[in-house]
Amino acid sequence: MFASLTDATNLVNVARVGPSPFAAQVAFVVAADAGVLARARAGLIAAGWDDRAINPLVLAPEVVRLGAGGDADTVMALGRLALADDPAAAAAYLADVPLEVLRLTATAPPPPAPLPAPPRTPPRSATDERGLAPAVDALEAAIRARLGTARADGLLLATAAQVSATLAPAGCIARLANCLGEVSDTVYAAGPIDVVLGGGALTLPDDPGDYFLVYGVNHEAAGLATYSNVVVTHWAKRAGVAAFESPAMVGSADAYLPDHPDRDRLFVVKVARRCGGAPYCLELPTTFPGVPLDQTLAFLFRAYLAPGAAVAPDPAALVTERVIHVTP
C-alpha cells in the first residue's frame, strides 16, 4: 500500500545532539513493542550513543501484520535528500551512504507490551497564499497574450487538498489502496487528472512548437514551504525525470509581469524537448532519464515543510499550479 506509518523525521524534528541536523550522528529504532524498544535504546546507550540522538519509529501491531512469514507485511524506512549546498559532498554521500542497519532479535523476549499507533500531526500553515490567486490570473493573461494565436490548452489538475484527501495513509491502509509513498512533511498537486486516474495519455513530440508552460505560486517565496518544486514524471514508471525547484524559480515571472508587485512570488517554467540554453526551461530527453516520445508524462507539484513546523503546509492554503500545453 506504500502508506506511511509515522510522521516524517526531518531536519526540524530529528532527535540529535547539537543545533544542526546535518552531519549529526543519529540512530533510529524501528520497534512494535515497548520492552523491545527500551532494550534497544539501552543497548545503544551502553555502546556510547547519547539518548538525545535516538529516534524511535513505531510499528503498531494494530496496523501492521508482524512476523517473518509470507502473510506478514513488508515495511521499509525511506530517506530523501535534496538541495545540497555542496554537490561534491552530496555525491560522496550517495556513493557511500554512511548507514548501517541491524536486525535485533531478543533471545529472551520481554512480556508483550505492544506500542500504540503514534498520533499523526495534521498539516498546518502560519500563513495563506490564496490572496495571490489574482496575481496568478494576471500571469496567465500575460502568458496567453504573449502566445498570441498559438493553440494553448490548460490541463486539468488535482489540487493539493484533493490529493491529500485521496492519499490519506489511514484510508489507504483500510481500503488496501496504493498511497504512492505519501509523507507527512509534503503535500502534492498533480495532473492531468485523467492521467493520474489511469485513463488518459499525455505525450510530448519532438517539435519546437509543442511544449508546456507551467506557472503559479512559488510556495517557498510565499512563505508556505521550506522548498517546493515542479516535477515532470514518466507516468508508467512513476519516476520523476526533471525538476524545477523553488530557489531557481526566482525571477522567472519577470518577463511576463515586470511591474507586478507579486512577481517575486510567482514562477513560470517551460518544459520542452529542447531548450537551446534558454533560461527557466526544463529539457525533457527521450532517453533515460527522460520520457520516450510515445510514453505518457504527468506533472507533480510538491510543497515541503511549512516554515516553523515539522509537517507539510495546509493544502487548503495553497494556490494550485497551472499548466498550458502549447501546440502548433
Residue where a domain terminates, one of 119, 150, 167: 119
> Do 78 and 207 belong to one domain?
no
Instruction: List 217's β-bridge partners, or say none.
Output: 266
**Could you give the number of structural domains in the chain?**
2
Residue 284, domain CATH: 2.60.120
Domain around 10: 1-119
| Identity of the residue numbered 16 | R
Residue 160 has pLDDT above 90, yes or no: yes
Residue 225 · residue 246 · CB < 8 Å: yes
Candidates 181, 170, 167; CA nearest to 62 is 170
> Do 104 and 193 belong to one domain?
no
Residues 6+ away with beta carbon under 8 Å from 74: none
pLDDT of 126: 86
> Do 137 and 274 belong to one domain?
yes
pLDDT of 67: 87
> Do 60 and 191 belong to one domain?
no
Residue 275 · residue 215 · CB < 8 Å: no
Q: For the residues of 257-276, what is the DSSP string, one character each?
A: -TT-TTGGGEEEEEEES--T
> Do 209 and 266 belong to one domain?
yes
How do residues 13-41 score in pLDDT, each as one tens digit? Answer: 999 999 999 989 999 999 999 999 999 99
- 108: pLDDT confidence band, cut at 50, 70 and 90? confident
Residue where a domain terminates, one of 67, 88, 119: 119
How do residues 49-84 score in pLDDT, each as one tens digit? Answer: 999 999 999 999 999 999 888 999 999 998 888 889
Residue 302 · residue 188 · CB < 8 Å: yes
> Do 22 and 156 belong to one domain?
no
pLDDT of 109: 81
> Do 56 and 160 belong to one domain?
no
Query: Could you give the CA distance from residue 110 to residue 258 in angstroms, rounded to a whole number?
Result: 68
The answer to whether position 107 is within a domain reads yes
> Do 149 and 95 belong to one domain?
no
Residue 226 has pLDDT above 90, yes or no: yes
Number of neighbours of residue 88 by Cβ within 10 angstroms: 8
How do residues 199-215 score in pLDDT, each as one tens digit? Answer: 899 999 999 999 999 99
- 105: pLDDT confidence band, cut at 50, 70 and 90? confident
Residues 6+ away with beta carbon under 8 Å from 143: 152, 213, 215, 256, 268, 324
Residue where a domain terminates, one of 119, 143, 172: 119
The answer to whether position 59 is within a domain reads yes
Residue 179 has pLDDT above 90, yes or no: yes
The answer to whether position 43 is within a domain reads yes
The answer to whether position 124 is within a domain reads no
> Do 308 and 163 belong to one domain?
yes
- 106: pLDDT confidence band, cut at 50, 70 and 90? confident
Candidates 109, 117, 104; CA nearest to 35 is 109
Report which DSSP code applies to 158: B
> Do 46 and 169 belong to one domain?
no
> Do 266 and 178 belong to one domain?
yes
Q: Cell numbers 525538476 correspond to what residue?
A: 243
Query: Could you give the CA distance from residue 164 to residue 327 in angstroms, rounded to a whole number?
Result: 32
Query: Could you give the CA distance from residue 156 to residue 189 in angstroms, rounded to a whole number?
Result: 11
Query: Could you give the CA distance from residue 54 to residue 114 in angstroms, rounded to a whole number?
Result: 20
pLDDT of 221: 97
> Do 302 and 247 belong to one domain?
yes
218-231 exposure pattern, b = at least 16 Cβ within 10 A, e = fewer: bbbbbbbbbbbbbb
Residue 165 has pLDDT above 90, yes or no: yes
The answer to whether position 125 is within a domain reads no
Residue 240 has pLDDT above 90, yes or no: yes
Residue 143 has pLDDT above 90, yes or no: yes
Mean pLDDT for the stretch of residues 238-246: 95
The answer to whether position 192 is within a domain reads yes
Mean pLDDT for the stretch of residues 138-152: 96
pLDDT of 217: 98
Query: Could you give the CA distance from residue 10 to residue 245 in angstroms, rounded to a whole number?
Result: 19
Provide the total of helices (H) and of strands (E) in the chain, helices listed first: 7, 11
How much of the chain, in percent, has pLDDT values that exceed 90? 91
